[in-house]
Structure 1
Amino acid sequence: MKYWLLMGVIVAGLAACGDAEEADTGTTSSTPAESTDSAGTTDVSEGEKVVNSSCINCHGGDLTGAMGPDLTKLSLSREEIIDVLVNGKGTMPPGTAKGEEEVVADYILSLQ
């Protein structure tokens, strides 16, 4: 009995890692996902939006870890983060950033 309960919790948690509530409205943003201000600082707000809608279910509201690992203390490069977002790793499902992997990686790296 305990095994089935544990499996149910794991499956429910993995399902929460995706953004099942997000509906495709068929509209696209006219602003770039990543931009720089006059000081040359990268704007990571688009990545933050994706993280808040797709990642906090597993990584916690402050991204310091819940079911998933702490994203504020990663030792991964930008390319490695993008690879995990695209291909998944361990219990991390692939494709959760839905084409926004680069801005998500930039946002995660801004937390370090």
Structure 2
Amino acid sequence: MASLCLTCVSEGTSLEEQVRRIKDIEAIESDSFVPQAFKSSRDDTKSAVVQVKQESEKGPSQDISLPMSIVYDDSGTLAHPSLFVDKETAEELWLNRLISLRQERLMGSPVT
């Protein structure tokens, strides 16, 4: 069995985590280990929805659904739609932002 790693001890990981890590490393280094292709679950658009019942003080219970996975917007574009604003609108937005920054600076508040 391999010795305990010094970085694990300095990071404060538990003995159980260190032993599990060593066994995982030994399993990877063994001759019976077969590398497999990574398959991402990102493309799975199935999202499980959990029904949560919440009782309010005033009325009956309400059903609230919470998403259990991230749903990606696959619109086919690589850039945010706000980058496709026409030039005049973009200049007007920047001018308004610049005016508000100057006003904040003149009033003595920190600029964010």
Q: What TM-score results when the alignment is normalised by the length of structure 1?
A: 0.21
Higher RCO, 1 or 2 (CA under 8 Å, sep at least 6)? 1
Larger radius of gyration: 2
Q: What TM-score results when the alignment is normalised by the length of structure 2?
A: 0.21
